[in-house]
Structure 1
């Protein structure tokens, strides 16, 4: 059952790409779906009782416009601005004030933030790059930097959360073309693909 649900967003992709092609001429990205793909983010959203958990993963390119370690003042300013925006989940996810949601915990991770993605990572990046390509090239490699944001919120009135509105994410980070969402709520689990034109999801 779970495999079927997880496959659902991918079944919708050909139609979505065809519809978006006119607007987004750069929608010719190819490669494995669910992997690192520019313009595509991933979101897991779980509403369970008073708890709302949101986990957003995105290529850094979608959020700051590059994937290398920031070296210039301009790059550093872009990273700082993106981080500041990601530190405001109530705004970013357009959560209604009536729901009374407060942030219980949040965690932002990215090589661009100077974080070490793995506690076992060597300090010598060159050595690690060689190791990463040889061992697990799909994880932690610097040419494909990811930004990972994890939020745990407590909502006093979760019944108010009828929908999840992602429109602010698309406005804040316009290089994000679509977000593949796994949504789990009291009504069940669903796989949905959100775009700027269809940014509101039902819990």
Structure 2
């Protein structure tokens, strides 16, 4: 019985770690203007990026693009997000070619996921004015590359993201690479990470 009791914490460890990961993911998923999240995984020749950002960081607003100027801004941002090779500043020596690019956002005409966190969202404001208090628009980008020379991926330079989208002030990065897994924060002044 004593051995069973001593083994119990180790048996429960995977569940505790999974719960901690969910809590961490939820806390990093909070909508904060100026802050984006980037998950990067390098596995063999496959290099994958998942970028999540408030649309405020990318286009400068979160409302639906109704004016010609807003629509042009959204179209330009979409075009820049699809230039993934330049956006992630991948070294030419790594010989990476994009195989998948997918962008999602209500601004691009995608249907937003149901938000069950705000029970009051369906109620009209008392003063008769339209409320945008709970209206948060996100942009999600997913990229997959195949790299013929992945050993040439020694650093990840995110400076082009900061230059292209100056509303982005920091990026919370989770990186999984052959040398291990770690989390860090990139800023315009500290935009280079080691693989």
Give the TM-score of the pair, scaled to structure 2: 0.78
Larger Rg: 2
Q: How many residues align?
A: 165
User: What does 1:33-182 align with in structure 2 at a 5 Å threshold?
Assistant: 34-118=29-113, 133-134=118-119, 143-182=135-174
Distance in 2, Cα, partners of 1:136 & 1:190? 37
CA distance in 1, matches of 2:54, 2:186: 16
The question of whether the paired residues in 2 share the 8 Å contact of 1:68 and 1:142 is answered with: no
Post-superposition offset of 1:33: 5.2
SS in 1 for 2:118: helix
Per the alignment, in what secondary structure is the counterpart of residue 193 of structure 2?
strand
Q: Post-superposition shift, 1:117? A: 3.4
CA distance in 2, matches of 1:154, 1:136: 42
Alignment CA distance shift 1:199-1:136 (3 Å)? farther
Q: Secondary structure at the match of 2:135?
A: helix
Which residue pairs with 2:5 in the alignment?
none
The equivalent of 2:190 in structure 1 is: 198
Deviations 1:163-201 (A, max 9, x none): 110000000001100000000001111001000000000
Q: CA deviation at 1:133?
A: 3.0
User: Hey, what does 1:11 align to over in structure 2?
Assistant: none
Q: 1:133 to 1:113 in 2, by over 3 A?
A: same
Offset of residue 142 of structure 1: 7.0
Question: Contact 2:28 / 2:37 at 8 angstroms: preserved in 1?
Answer: no
Is the 1:111–1:142 contact (alpha carbons within 8 Å) kept by the matching residues of 2?
no
CA deviations 1:124-174 (Å, max 9, x no partner) are xxxxx8x7732999xxx9710000000011000000000110000000001
Superposed CA RMSD in Å reads 2.5
Instruction: Flag as ranges the 4+ runs of structure 1 deviating above 4 A.
Output: 1-4
Q: Secondary structure at the match of 1:143?
A: coil
Consecutive unaligned residues of structure 1, counting only runs of 5 or more, are 8-31, 122-128
